[in-house]
Every structure is written in C-alpha cells, then in structure tokens.
Amino acid sequence: MLKVSATPVDVQKLKKCVILYATKGAVLTHEARKFDKIHGDVVTKAIKASRFQGQAEGIFSFSTPHLDDVDHVVLVGLGDAAQLTSHIWRNASILGATEANKLFVSDVSLMVESIKGDKTKEDDVAKAIVDGFHMAEYKFDRFKTDQKAHHKVSLKKLTVQLKNSAEFKKEIPLLEAQAEGVNLARDLVNLPPNISNPDLMVKTAKDIGKDGVKVKILGEKEMEKLGLNLLLAVGRASAQESRLIIIKYTGDKKSKDYKCIVGKGVMFDTGGYNLKPSAGMAQMKGDMAGSAAVMGAMKALSKRKPKINVIGVCGCVMNMIDGNGFLPSDILTSYSGKTVEIGNTDAEGRLVLADAMSYIIDKEKPTEIIDIATLTGACMVALGGSYAGLFSNNEKMAEGIKKSGDAVGERFWRLPIDDAYAAKPMLADLNNDGSRFGGASTAAVFLKNFVGDTPWAHLDIAGVGIGEKISGTSPVDGASGFGTKAFIHYLENAK
C-alpha cells in the first residue's frame, strides 16, 4: 500500500514528482507560485506554452531534467475556486495520481493550502487528496499473467505538506484502513462470479473476524428452519449454497445499541426464468456490490476501531436457472409471515433484502438499519453514475447519510417512497414486480413492508456500484467500492 507521510509546508523540500494545483485561468496557488519563483518561473513558462487553463479535470505535466530535486511537475486543474468541494478535490487528486503513474514515478509530493474562495476546510482537502491517491493506486490486474513493469502501478510514496501536519499524521492510518475496506469491496466486485461466490463472502467475513469481530453464518438448512423463504427461493437453482452472513462489531461495550447495514449479495444475476438479455448480463457479476460495501465497511471498522456498535449483514445467493428454480407466479411466505407472489424472478434483490432485514430486525432489534443494493435499472436510468438513490422513512438518517456521502465523494439523491408506486398483488399480500417507470421507488415501497417502525434507509447503487463507465462515474476504472466510505463516515459520526 502507498506510504503516506505528512510534513510541514516547505517548497524547498518538494521532491521527485511534484503536484501543483491551479484554478480557472491557470492561477497557481500561493505556495505553487513560490515554487515557481524559486525555480526560475519554470511553471509559468510551461503553462504559457500549453493549453492548460486550470479547468476542472484539466491536467498538464512536464519533465524538469534541469532541476536538481524535482524530475516532473504535474499541474492539476480545479476550476472555479468558489465551486470547489471535497468531491472535486478528490477527483482532481485521482487525475493527478493517475498522471504520476503514467509518468512512471514512485515518489510524489504536494502541498495542501487554502485557496481564496474555496470553502472546503484544509483538513478535508487533505483527506480528499489522500483518499484520491488511494483510489488511484488500486488496479485489478491479477489475471493478467504477462504484466510488464510499465503496466504496474508505480506510485509508492506520497508526501503531503500541510500546516497541521502533526494533527494530520493521526488521520493517515485511519485513511489507510478506509482504503483497505474500499479495496476489499472493489476486489469482491471485480472478481468474476466463478470466484466471487457465496463461499468467498463467507471466507472474507471470517478473515475480518480475525480482527476481533464476531461472525455468524447461516446456511440453507438453518435458513429453511427459520423460514427465510424469499432469500432461499432466489438461490435455489444455484449449485452454490446460499448464505446469510452476520458480522458483529462491538466498539462500545457499554452500549447495547447496534446500527445495522445490510447488503444485497446476488453474486450473479442471470434474471432467473425471467432471463436477462445477453447484452449486459456479464455486468451482473457486480450485483453483489451492496454486500461488498458492507464487507468493506466492516473490515475498515475492525481496523479503525471507533467506539460504536455495528452489525453488517450480507445476503449471498446466485440467481440462476435449473429444474429447481423459482418461477414467475410462485407464492412464497417470507420470514416476516407476509406472502409474496413472484411477478418477476429478475426482481430478486428485494426478496433477499426483505428476508435479511426482517430477520436481523427480529433477532437484534437494531436502532437503525440501512440497506444497500444494486437494486433497479430504473435508479440507474434516473441518476446515472453521479448519485446513488437514497430512500428513507427517517429525516435525520436521510440528512446524515447525504452529508456523509458528500464528505467522502459518494453522493446520494433522495427519491420518494410512496404507496402510489407499489406493485399490485393478485393472490398474495405483496408482489415483487415493478414497472419501468418509477421502478426504484416501487422497489423501495416493497422493502418498506419488511422494516416495520425501525428507522431505515435504502441505498440503490445500481448506477454507481458496478464498474461501468457511465457519465459521471468516478474517474477510477472498474468497481468503485461505492458505499464503503459513506457507511464508515455515517456510522462513526451519527449521533
């Protein structure tokens, strides 16, 4: 993992590959100007000869063979200073780090300083920058057997110069633990379904368990006894055993209160008998991104050790086809006792979540529950890659999750849960089907039936959880680990 260190600001000590920031009009930051002066206006001259305008997502690098300590300068554009957010800082940092990698450098140094007009706090800027580097450092290349040195990530060391370097040093291991969680989530999503199956999730949970966290696994026999028939129906046609994974982190022994996070872990979604079309089916290896985010968050919490209590739940199944598969028009009795007629075997995520949530609410009585899922194509159509859908029966939770998402660059947009969107059952209490229109809300209304009065939020990450380049997606390749960081931030900061 990238070795990050924090030191006081000193332009003389910038070494190797130096990243500098500029706002709209290619206006250099205060310290960057100092750097420029010391080195005979090397930066201003280079900018003049370029088309770099300091625009957001603008990037421009050049080599400096005539300088002693500095080999490369990477200029990163931030756009309008008044519009800056930690989200823009993070994305700029990802671009800067990616550029440094293209230059094949291992050692990067940069300065964090307040920019006139920018309302982002310096500490938040530093966190966003380091997080951006961690995001950019990840590469999923383990199945490329003939990797040349220049294909590998070259970044090894990042030195961040900032005023509060002593304070910020404490953040570094916390950010590292966060990155480990995010990388775990990204791995689980990027791995193919012949490897990333319910058994791998069990193994992953047990590995997290080594760090002082309790892990409980329910297999098909136990779930049959308990009556988690919705979850079991989805996994019934798969040769892989369905699993419910429960990870309990107790950081505050004095309290009996637990918050709960629940992930959709459909390790592959063929659609079942309502089979998906070929185009795009392969993408459904990422239909477990919700569970991956839960795993990532639990791993990070086990290392960050905050004084809170959290239960992570992953409902892990594969939605397949065989002679035993569930059928459209089947009627199933859920763990909660409510009956569900199957309108569509491809609307399987809400079935898994319904049983997982009513089970954990019944057993553990969490004070809050948040589910996360690549649940509907409709949400992806509505929000694209920039925002995930947020639904909640609780104003405070919705507000808190939105704020946390903004802080960590995983943004949420609130959408309605209204009975007007409910699918109409014919013979049972509920129907799992949805329409193309308002389908994200139809799914949320379905889930609402299984949480009772528990303060609840539902996060639909269909557009952002799977590593596909749709407009607005984060500038990293493949899976983003979306949700991991928002969970960590929300759970650690919610009162």
Contacting residues toward ligand BES, per CB under 6 A: 269, 287, 344, 346-349, 374-378, 380, 433-434, 439, 462, 466
Name the residue nearer to ligand BES (CB basis): 120 or 344.
344
Contacts of Zn ion in 51-110 (CB under 5 A):
none
Q: Which of 276, 303, 338, 403 is catalytic?
A: 276
Least Å distance between CB 289 and ligand BES? 8
| Residue 13 is among the residues annotated as catalytic for this protein | no
Least Å distance between CB 433 and ligand BES? 6
| Residue 90 is among the residues annotated as catalytic for this protein | no
Q: Which of 285, 299, 350, 448 is catalytic?
A: 350
Q: Which stretch binds Zn ion (CB under 5 A): 189-197, 347-355, 427-435, 460-468?
A: 347-355
Q: Which stretch binds Zn ion (CB under 5 A): 51-59, 142-150, 346-354, 479-487?
A: 346-354
Cβ-based neighbours of 312, under 8 Å, separated by 6 or more? 245, 246, 247, 248, 249, 260, 261, 262, 263, 294, 295, 297, 298
Structure tokens at 66: 């005539």
CA 305 → CA 173, 174, 406, distances in Å? 11, 9, 23
Least Å distance between CB 266 and Zn ion? 5
Q: Is residue 287 involved in binding Zn ion (CB under 5 A)?
A: yes
Name the residue nearer to ligand BES (CB basis): 78 or 379.
379
Name the residue nearer to ligand BES (CB basis): 128 or 185.
185
Q: Which does 378 bind (CB under 5 to 8 A by kind): Zn ion, ligand BES, none?
A: ligand BES
Least Å distance between CB 283 and Zn ion? 10
Name the residue nearer to Zn ion (CB basis): 269 or 341.
269
Least Å distance between CB 308 and Zn ion? 30
Count of residues near Zn ion by CB under 5 A = 6
Q: Which stretch binds Zn ion (CB under 5 A): 37-45, 244-252, 258-266, 433-441?
A: 258-266
Name the residue nearer to ligand BES (CB basis): 261 or 267.
267
Binding site for Zn ion (CB under 5 A): 266, 269, 287, 346, 348-349
**Which residues are tagged catalytic?**
276, 350
